[in-house]
Structure 1
């Protein structure tokens, strides 16, 4: 068996070995296991605290690391793959693997869960804004320049679980590193990052959650604040390194308390109601980055406009296509506003809700903040003639 396992492990190159080892160690780590309801339950239901390695290999990220088809399940996991992974995991001091290579678990049993979670939270920071399609690996590499990073999480948006909320949770190895990061002035993709303790983020998110859940659908199932319609208007504002914004090609726009309040979830019209939340199991599809739709990180002394390519009609269509089919985009390069015509009104409603409840008040794209407004009444009738 050992010979077969060694031979199987040889089929994994060094890059895969590193990714697989790091991923499985993370699954069973203090950073993840206490909060991973499914895996924790599986461990607790096991007599020996070990779980099927075929199950672990069937997780989405593991299949990606191993180059497996997304359709592969635990029951159809190739035995040679399981043996190869088992051989790799034997190198870890944090994991234990059964002799036959079919089960894996923590080397040290998980205990004092509440205490562990408190410790993890104390060394975790929340940083925003990040582009909607940022890669977890890019965030990890970015913060690794400022300390040893244990883990990075990209929480989903309150209104639509398919989408990243814009705030990354970064756990450092030491609490001192987390505290030091709170004092750093960091820029990612042309935007100044706001960094706060995770506990503050959790409290703010809970308030937003409660506000969202209190909104009830009207009798006909549509939100008066998000009117039924296929067209939405959008506006582009460049994000300056100093935190301000300009309209595309215009003068700097000064943020005031009033303008910030107008974008906040707590200032939503109480008459408004929630759109229907249509969740998708295909989260992996929405992780695919829109090529060219995100600017590279820039230096402090450079402006986003000097680093990012101009936003095109295709960029707009690709980004908002995540909410549903986009039939037409009325926009030309260099404009500071335009219109999007969706295939159905539900897609338009979801896009507006997502932007309205985002911390930034809109979506980030190529160093710009994209804000949305409904088109209704006479304007709606006018644009029906133009883009329908």
Structure 2
């Protein structure tokens, strides 16, 4: 059965921070910790990053529960947020035309912001991938539910097929990942030039084969307000959390055992195959994490302590905090800065990631206490909406 459209008037501008649902922001904030753990590992260039017992433990846990699980969750939340934007624009036809224009403007600016982010700091940028998805696939947001889920399944199957082809054609690391040459450049200009080329390849690949499937599932979930009204969907959320995380662990653990050095008898080429299984089951892990965090938000209710409040504040300023992470990581890891990428192991990189995320959480909490939005979010809203958010149109509702 298709969800019935909302009929009440809604504002076209951004939602006030106090009126935002807890679960999506909590998920964004928590997953930025996961993103930090993944990106800190990405910066490492030493061939011996997993040596100590601490390195092995961190590699095992991160590879099983975090890698290829965070971006699918972010993608689901991105699709969910697109539905919330559409819902805020009243009128069945005029509302869609306005929403389509707004989403495409938002997508275009996100592509440009992502390009700048990649050239300056990090080639594996996700902002541009999300923006490109909006630019190219806004019409998919109008699909019927069944077609939407079939599209998600089809793009997921296509992703696996293309990844298999790329594995045969590209140089692959021991953990199944493609190595980025920009990480070892000792001059900023040379690194920036190479990051530009890497971004041009990485962004469409990530958009089509990583972001799009869970984004479409997020649209389906957004139509039903599953994360905004977790009490109504407790049974679905419980089943999704259990099944999604179980699949993610089952698919991720074998590869994690190899990459952590705890499984030493694997045949040559096994790591690449296990990497494919690991990444494919990451979509289920992203759904599982989203459901688990929604249940945690339901349990918290209004009883939110300082930690939950800080995580929520990060989620409300996710783009700002994401960019802050890249600035700090570049200063710590880049060869033309402190140059720690060639010297740190997995455990030390995880410590840098946790400290960085904690610093962004502290900054976000201060902004929240002062009622200040994140500067990146403010900039994007100004660019997408115009100088001022539009007033809601009058309706007969």
Q: TM-score, structure 1 length as denominator? A: 0.28
Greater gyration radius = 1
Q: Of Structure 1 and Structure 2, which has the larger fraction of its residues in strand?
A: 1
More helix by share: 2
